[in-house]
Amino acid sequence: MKKYLLYALLILVSSSCSKEFTELSPISERNIQSAYKTQADFAVAVNGLYDALQLNGTYGKTYLLLNEMRSDNTLNGGGCNGIAQSLCEVDLFKEITTANELSSAWSDSYRGIARCNIILDKIDASAVPDALKKRYKGEALYIRSLLYYNLAIIFGNIPLQLTDVASPADVDLKQYPASDIYKQVITDLVAAEPLLPAKYTGADIGRVTSGAVNTLLGKVYLTNGDKTSAIAALNKVVDSKNYSLATDYAKLWGAANENGPESIFEIQYKTGGQGEGSGYFEYFASIIGRAGGVGGGNAPMNMTPDLLAAYKTGDLRFTKSVFTNRRTPDTTYSLKYISTQTTTFDGDNNWYVSRYADVLLMLAEALGETTQAYAYINQVRARAGLPAISSTTPGTFAQKLLDERRVEFALENHRWQDLLRFGVAKATMAKQLAVPEADIRLLYAIPQKEIDVSNGKLVQNPGY
């Protein structure tokens, strides 16, 4: 999968945003719908779905800024002047409705959704063999669900476009609350699970599996408050025996460890100057990278003192994921995304969307304070060299679990979602920034340009 040169797919050439209506189907994709007929057409198109996850507005950059930097895990490392001002505003909950980060997340997410919709609408009438049709549908349903999940977390009240858009008249601009988006995502993921294999071999390694579907399904159930259904979905991942914790936390990182036993779904990157590399080195370890980072417009994210203090004495994860640069002075970065690369923003390191440790800790969350829940937590702690905890360990169960998730997934884009799901985002960030809770917004603004071209159909989120 990683070897596919997705950037070269002419069928999916990017275009500028439509000036007439919100971009729920980019013009570039509408222009080539007649090409969706043969097995080769759909093979290219499905690869383009994975490419959508690498776009600047999705996991390529912006999801990380709007989630990880929003949390108490990271600080904007580029200062607050010039091109870094908008990043500083995101970090401090002061972003404006015209911020490029908001427009990028919106347009690139819907660009990916449009690609999924085209495949789902057209594949039944194609010459693709039935077995492959099922897999392609499953991949499209999962990737569309993943994009909608992120949009719901970021914006909350969003349009839900589930069919191909051939003209502005086909766009449905009705906004749905996040809870309704999650319900649709659940429907799609339930439909996707039986269509996908449990694992792949050879060049297909890295594609969406039924395990990836059930992991996201469990997370969405938890987000929507259905713990019973989350347990059922997550138990399928455990019972499959297809995944296990890496024996060494350090073995999770670097190109040599990609798609390993703990990996459930990764966004695949490949270095080599072909436009398929990642920029995570520059974003999370920029001062020791090639691009300069701080002040260089590379959206660097520094680890906060509060995050560093969250690591307990003896936690092996600290030395295996934290680097302190004494020259800066004492500026701390993540070791997770260090990459050997010949040019900037061309790392070979993949991005974990989900890994097995998340399944175990989400199961603990769904079960609540029980012996089994602590057993799942302690599996993760044992790898970190930490002693087991139990109901007699000081602190509430929720806080103990949230603390464990914080250090296990530091700088992996989970923290803001966790704070929201546990209901502590306002309190945590108000304390972090020393501001009133009223200053902490749980949703971002709908991009102003989308409201402007919607003829009054899109309504801005409260607080903007």
Q: Let me know whether 52 and 164 are in one domain.
A: yes
Write the pLDDT tens digit of every residue in 281-307: 888 876 554 444 443 446 778 889 999
The DSSP element (H or E) to which 74 belongs, if any, is strand 74-76
Domain that holds residue 292: 275-345
Taking only the tens place, the pLDDT of each residue in 74-109 is: 888 777 877 778 888 999 999 999 999 999 999 999
Q: Examine the domain organization and report whether 279 and 191 are in the same domain.
A: no
- pLDDT given for residue 150 in this prediction: 98
- Under the phi-then-psi rule, with left for phi > 0, alpha for psi from -120 to 50, and beta for the rest, what region is 330? left
Q: Would you call 406 helix, strand, or coil by DSSP?
A: helix
Same domain assignment for residues 62 and 173: yes
Name the packing angle between helices 356-367 and 397-408 (round to 10°). 170
Same domain, 192 and 43: yes
From 345, 371, 401, give the residue that closes a domain.
345
CATH number of the domain that residue 99 is part of = 1.25.40.390
Mean pLDDT across 390-404: 98
Q: Do residues 357 and 262 make contact, with C-beta atoms less than 8 angstroms apart?
A: yes
- 370 lies in some domain: no
Give the DSSP per-residue string, 92-112.
Answer: TT---TT-HHHHHHHHHHHHH
Predicted confidence band of residue 328 (pLDDT cuts 50, 70, 90):
low
pLDDT digits 0-9 by tens, 105-121: 999 999 999 999 999 99
Position 102 in a domain = yes
Counting the structural domains of the chain, the total is 2
* pLDDT at residue 323, as a whole number: 82
Residue 7 in any domain: the answer is no
pLDDT digits (tens, 9 = 90+) for 180-230: 999 999 999 999 999 999 999 999 999 999 999 999 999 999 999 999 999
Q: Among 315, 345, 375, where does a domain finish?
A: 345
Answer whether residue 5 is part of any domain. no
C-alpha span between 50 and 68 (Å, rounded): 22
415-444 per-residue burial string, b: 16 or more CB within 10 A, e: under 16: bbbbbbbbeebbebbbeeeeeeeeebbbbb
Task: Tell me if the pTM is above 0.85.
Answer: yes
Tokens found for residue 86:
């908008």
Q: Could you tell me if 47 and 159 lie in one domain?
A: yes
In terms of Cα–Cα distance, which of 373, 372, 380, 375 is closest to 405?
Answer: 380
For residue 8, is it within any domain? no
Check if the beta carbon of residue 193 is closer than 8 Å to that of residue 139. no
Select from 345, 363, 394 the last residue of a domain: 345
Residues 1-16: what's their mean pLDDT? 36
Residue 230 lies in a domain: no
H-helix or E-strand containing 176?
strand 175-176
266 forms beta bridges with 352
Q: Which of 155, 138, 47, 50 is nearest to 101 (CA)?
A: 155
Tell me if 276 sits within 8 A of 6, measured CB to CB. Answer: yes
Residues 141 and 43 in one domain: yes
Location of structure tokens 């904007």: 76
* Two structure tokens written together for 397: 């169960």
- Summarised one tens digit per residue, pLDDT across range 131-161 is 999 999 999 999 999 999 999 999 999 999 9
Residue type, 44: V
Mean pLDDT of 398-425: 97
Give the DSSP letter string of 335-368. Answer: STT----SSTT-B---EEEEEHHHHHHHHHHHH-
State yes or no: pLDDT of 347 exceeds 80: yes
Q: Is 301 helix (H, G, I), strand (E, B) or coil?
A: strand
| Residue 148 structure tokens | 């909608």
Is residue 168 included in any domain, yes or no?
yes
Residue 404 lies in a domain: no
| Enclosing H/E stretch for 265 | strand 263-267
Closest CA to 62 of 101, 9, 7, 108: 101
Please tell me whether residues 59 and 147 are part of one structural domain: yes
For residues 335 and 457, membership in a common domain is answered with: no
pLDDT of residue 345: 85
What is the distance between the alpha carbons of residues 451 and 66, in angstroms, rounded to a whole number? 20
Domain identity same for 53 and 190: yes
Same-domain check for residues 156 and 305: no
- Residue 288 identity (one-letter amino acid): I
Mean of the pLDDT values across residues 312-327?
A: 86
Phi, psi of 444 (to 5 degrees): -85, 165
- Per-residue pLDDT, averaged over 389-393, amounts to 97
In this prediction, residue 379 carries a pLDDT of 98
Tokens coding 244: 């296990």
